[in-house]
Structure 1
């Protein structure tokens, strides 16, 4: 619907709500002004509700929702080393170990008849990856040998509550929802207790001089020890943010990509050829291996263009600005959507076509600036961008290398919108082993 509004009324829309105004824009220069320059801040009105949901502290003042620019700059500078490519390189072996658990599971289901919800399986995997690689938590969601961990159950219920709130902001006033909301709030409290417990246990080990893995949690603890003024509650906020931002978004990206590949068999075959040309039947895929797969990168970028898991972002100008002749007062929430911008015909010809070649080196340079931003733009670009890209590349390359797949005839190709965009119905398919891996 937002796309039709933009097409009909132009690249800026003003929506007047009770006591406030929200501006929606797809104008590239306005997006540059609000994301790249220093004349902006995160929208307090848009993000405070996510921080403290239903009266409970959820992601609080985590890095994603921090609106105080000076505080954010300081904390981002402290956190950046944890997500540099050199650090992620050290996670290569752990990525392979966790991903291979899913590959083994799928191989056992690859009989051509068993239906598999790839969204569900990717959700399990990405939660296991961030849990183990980031925080030393053994969640076992992929293997499913035990009851889901308390943390797993809490984060799934909390995320469900966030999605329910996005769909129905007035649900807290409905008596029929009170029991569910009570469960969601309890899950949020559980997340905070367990996250703080993990932090305190790791801190004690480091202070005793015990061995600890070189993961994100280790980094956060050492950051606290070196900067005692950091609030422990804010660090707990960040732990939860990394689980929320680093799990479901990657699972949705992978699920949409599989649907797009199934719909475009020529793209799938070209991608499979590239994977085999570069790694053959290798089971261990290095970061160097997948970074050589240029067509894989193009496929992922095109999937993000059509189906960005996090489609919207909000900013507030610090000073009065002008967008296409409209005067926008300082402090006005401005909504920008990469989903809308990257589906407009004037920026991306034949926008509904899945065409990875848009992102070939020569073609990508011709894309209008500030019309494609699945990880946002400027200083607030997603800190976990490199982590998510490497994770998605290794997972997808291993899936394509080993399996053929057919989507269920009843699989919907619609989008379910909540906090993220996800494929309605869960990307259900059947799998068979590629000829090279049979037997």
Structure 2
């Protein structure tokens, strides 16, 4: 009894002390949140849903209703102007749609990638994902070293030599579409484009034949799962705490492990070939190994760094191009006049030749306009974000340093301020003689951190679309929607299911 009294006499003050510490910590947190609000509340913006959570409830509500958060950002831009602030939890984020500020922020290396987003992409629910690859590396010197080594795999001379591979993989897709046309079978164009673009990146970047149009593979599902997980991981701080999400989180981790294990296998095979002195291509896989810098004695971190870039190129080199192609088919099916015009150009430039040359691509001017207009309305990678470390002025508003900012080509591409009648699909906006958009159209970002693979992606898209338009007519099946789904990248919700018919059945293809 005496011992219990002593123990209680000791615990009571300790508990009081602990509660006081917790109260002080809570009050300190409240003061810091209030200070953050006061520091940035002179910047226009929508009312916060909650003192602590900011606008997170609105964002989560849109996500849970399967909406597009970028439409809300567009609505706020129209209401609050070219720079406004929102709060993600207690963090302040600026949304910037001012072309002059976009130029300043994206064209200069002094604005690093946003730590809130890009540091989170290092891991995905505890499983290493993009790590410190080209997409996520925040340190400029670290990024520049990798970029310089990767550049040869994307030089115009090297890309010119890839035309045979682009043609070969696109032909396999044409064979699948021929089967669909012959059997009067509906074609899910997004699924087909996912297969061909994954085939292309596997073959051209990594020297591996997947042949996904003939074979089943876990890769498309793994990529989709990782991207869905990425959206929840970044936007919902409490996602992991919900027991209902455990099975999905397990799927995401397994998908990450599958991609990295595949990368490890392919990298090891290529390293062995290089060590034996075999003739290997100067493709992305070779450059990834060179970027690690120590082919003979690599540390565990060197190995992980190679896998970071493998996952980066494997996903980025496939997903966005497939979505662009699907959106392009969707819009052409909605606009028969534009479809006929681009078909005529393909007929004039390509004729009945089966092989499309690099020079042919340069002459497909209107097709280029169609693809650019597709990315204006449907930028598959909607935007990017940077940290503003020092004070600056945007559109006459003083911005204190120490804040991150989001820049969205989705928002600017759909604003009447920059594009008249913005929801109208009009490829003539990108006619060679039309005024060029001033830092309000950047589907591949801008400046030193712009997408390294953008020329690769657009060459691939041109080859696939040119062959499709050369040989087939297509119409959307009844009931197809034109909605999008946000899986980190934007993709058509319905899959763009089409009826496929042969064009000019008596026309013989020639290899000349």
TM-score range, shorter chain: over 0.9
> What pairs up with 1:126-145 in 2 under 5 angstroms?
126-144=197-215
Say yes or no: does 1:374 pair with 2:443.
Answer: yes
Task: State the partner residue of 1:201.
Answer: 269
| Contact 2:292–2:305 (8 Å) recurs in 1 | no
Contact 1:112 1:431 in 2 (8 A): no
Match of 2:475 among 406, 411, 414: 406
Residues 46-195 of structure 1: matches in 2 within 5 Å?
A: 46-111=117-182, 113-144=184-215, 147-148=216-217, 151-152=219-220, 154-165=222-233, 170-195=238-263
Aligned counterpart in structure 2 of residue 212 of structure 1, from 280, 300, 305: 280
1:153–1:23 CA distance, 2 compared to 1 (3 A): closer
1:306 aligns with 2:377: yes
* Aligned match of 1:392: 461
For 1:121 and 1:171, locate their aligned partners in 2 and report how far apart those are by CA, in whole Å: 32
TM-score by length of structure 1 reads 0.94
Change (3 A) 1:411 1:166: farther
Q: Deviations over 1:23-43 (max 9, x none)?
A: 001011111111012331110
- The answer to whether 1:426 aligns with 2:426 is no
Q: Distance in 1 between matches of 2:182 and 2:237?
A: 43
- Distance in 2 between residues matched to 1:216 and 1:155, nearest whole Å: 19
Tell me by how many angstroms 1:82 deviates.
Answer: 1.3
Cα pair 1:131 1:138 within 8 Å, conserved? yes
Higher relative contact order (CA 8 A, sep 6+): 1
CA separation of 1:112 and 1:343: change in aligned 2, threshold 3 A: farther
The separation in 2 between residues aligned to 1:241 and 1:381, in whole angstroms, is 14
More deviation in 22-31 or 150-159?
A: 150-159
Distance 1:165 1:209, change over 3 A: same
**Measured at CA, do residues 82 and 213 of structure 1 come closer, stay the same or move farther in structure 2, by a change above 3 Å?**
closer
Aligned residues between the structures: 434
Is contact 2:480-2:494 (8 Å) kept? yes
1:36 correspondence with 2:104? no
Structure-to-structure mapping, 1:308-323, within 5 angstroms: 308-323=379-394
TM-score, normalising length: structure 2: 0.81
Match of 1:15 among 64, 76, 86: 86
Shift of 1:225: 4.9
Deviation, 1:217, is 1.1
2:12 counterpart residue number? none
Contact conserved, 2:152 with 2:282, CA < 8 A, in 1? Answer: no
- TM-fit CA distance, 1:161: 2.7
Most deviating of 385-394 and 287-296: 287-296
Specify the structure having the higher radius of gyration (Cα): 2
2:85 aligned counterpart, secondary structure: strand
Stretches (4+) displaced over 6 A: 226-230
Give the gaps of 5 or more residues in structure 2: 1-71
Is contact 1:402–1:437 with CA below 8 Å preserved after alignment? no
1:164 touches 1:418 (CA, 8 Å); kept in 2?
A: no
**What is the CA distance between 1:293 and its match in structure 2?**
0.6
Cα distance change on mapping 1:16 and 1:164 into 2, 3 Å: closer
Structure 1: any 5+ residue segments left out of the alignment? none
Distance 2:294 2:303 in 1: 13
Q: Secondary structure at the match of 2:318?
A: helix
For the pair 1:273 / 2:341, whether they are aligned, the reply is no
Q: CA deviation at 1:436?
A: 4.4
The Cα of 1:153 is off from its aligned counterpart by 5.0
* Distance 1:163-1:399 versus aligned 2 partners, 3 A rule: farther
Match of 2:28 in 1: none
Cα distance in 2, alignment partners of residues 307 and 234 from structure 1: 32
Counterpart contact for 1:101–1:143, Cα < 8 Å = no
Q: CA deviation at 1:284?
A: 0.9
User: In the TM superposition, what whole-angstrom CA distance separates every residue of 1:184-221 from its partner, at most 9, and x where no partner exists?
Assistant: 21221222122112112211111111243442212322
